[in-house]
């Protein structure tokens, strides 16, 4: 069996998702034995356009990004969106709330025309995405699980249940018991309840589950003293590209 060829690409984002792959210290050697990495923006200088699996991080925010991501889509047989920016637009989507022109003006003033910047979108607005490794940063063990599943021809198991499940398995006291608000009840697990385990509320970086009870969550947050604006801003931090949420729900 020849090793599958993998390209790891970066779009608009902090680049931390690629770092997470490099942070797989204990498994990195096994990973490069199992697959052949032909492109890895942050780690190697070599490049080849011959790959079957593309891991893409970052969101699409320029015309040039659109061309690049479409080209990857033409080559790769399987595309994995890695991290919040690629999966649901991530923090970058906050720009859309201002409108592109206003945002450019706020940041670049009278030089705004120098900047090539368009409305932020997650990558699946332009290419088909087969699997989503969610989170900011993504759970690196989940990235390994996706790759491993692809090698052995199995569908990766990405949770579609809320973070509460992992909190309970981990024996966490609910952060609401300490008066801290948390989006865990509507957010897709898979992070091993990383934030609540450290005593802070979930900010929904992995996006919502397929069938979130948004009304219940609004009631709950309101009970804890949040205004409608607060609630919207909590949801918007990672999920401002709302169209994505609506689209995912249909799947």
Partner 1 sequence: MLYKVMGRDVFKDFVKSLISDYEFIGPKKKDKAVHDFVPIKDISELDINYKRTTIPPAKKILFPPDEKLVTYEVNEKIKVRPLIESSEKVLFGINAWDINGMNFLDRFFVTDFIDENYLERRKKLIVIGMDSEPTETNFSPSMDSEYAKDGFDLYLTELKDRYFIRINTARGDEILKKYAVTEDALVKDFKDYNNYMDNYRKKFKLNVNIKDFYDNFELIYDDDEFWKRVAKNCYSCGSCNLACPTCFCFNVKDDIELNLKDGNKTREWDSCMLPEYGLVAGGLNFRPDKENRLKQRYRCKLKTFFDKFGRYACVGCGRCIEVCLAKINIADDINSIKKEVSV
Residue ranges that bind partner 1, judged by CB under 8 A: 27, 30-31, 33-34, 144-145, 147-148, 151-152, 157, 160-162, 164-165, 167-174, 176-178, 184-186, 209-213, 215-217, 219-220
CB 82 to partner 1: min, Å: 17
* Three-state SS at 106: helix
Instruction: Please report how close the Cβ of residue 224 comes to partner 1 at its closest, in angstroms.
Output: 10
Find the shortest distance in angstroms from Cβ 64 to partner 1. Answer: 34
Min dist. Cβ of residue 67 to partner 1 (A) = 33
Report yes or no: 122 and 136 within 8 Å, Cβ to Cβ: no
CB of 110 to partner 1, least distance (A): 49
- The pair of three-digit structure tokens given for residue 49, joined into one six-digit string: 């356009």
Q: How many helices (H) and strands (E) does the chain have?
A: 12, 5
Kindly tell me which of 138 and 184 has the beta carbon lying closer to partner 1. Answer: 184
When the beta carbons of 108 and 178 are compared against partner 1, the nearer one is: 178
Distances (CA, A) of 136 to 85, 101, 146: 8, 27, 17
Alpha-carbon distance of 233 to 135, in angstroms, equals 18
> CB 69 → partner 1: shortest distance, Å?
27
Instruction: Assign 231 to helix, strand or coil.
Output: helix
- H helix intervals, 76-116: 84-88, 94-98, 100-108
Per DSSP, helices labelled H in the chain are: 16-22, 28-34, 63-75, 84-88, 94-98, 100-108, 140-152, 163-169, 194-197, 214-223, 228-239, 242-250
User: Whole-angstrom Cα distance, residue 167 to residue 226?
Assistant: 23
């Amino acid at each position: 069996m020849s090793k599958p060829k993998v390209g790891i690409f970066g779009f608009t984002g902090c680049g931390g998702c690629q770092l997470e792959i490099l942070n797989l210290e204990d498994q990195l050697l096994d990973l490069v034995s199992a697959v052949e990495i032909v492109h890895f923006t942050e780690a190697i200088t070599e490049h080849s356009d011959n790959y079957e699996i593309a891991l893409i991080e970052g969101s699409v925010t320029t015309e040039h990004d659109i061309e690049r991501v479409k080209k990857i889509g033409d080559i790769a047989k399987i595309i994995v969106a890695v991290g919040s920016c690629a999966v649901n637009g991530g923090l970058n989507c906050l720009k859309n709330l201002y409108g592109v022109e206003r945002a450019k003006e706020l940041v670049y003033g009278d030089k705004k025309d120098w900047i090539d910047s368009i409305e932020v979108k997650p990558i699946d607005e332009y290419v088909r995405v087969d699997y989503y490794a969610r989170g900011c940063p993504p759970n690196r063990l989940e990235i390994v699980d996706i790759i491993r599943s692809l090698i052995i021809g199995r569908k990766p198991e990405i949770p579609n249940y809320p973070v509460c499940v992992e909190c309970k398995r981990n024996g966490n006291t609910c952060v609401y018991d300490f008066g801290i608000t948390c989006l865990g009840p509507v957010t897709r697990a898979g992070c091993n309840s990383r934030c609540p385990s450290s005593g802070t509320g979930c900010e929904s970086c992995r996006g919502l589950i397929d069938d979130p009870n948004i009304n219940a969550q609004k009631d709950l947050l309101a009970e804890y003293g949040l205004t409608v604006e607060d609630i919207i801003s909590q949801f918007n931090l990672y999920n401002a590209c709302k169209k994505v949420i609506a689209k995912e729900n249909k799947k």
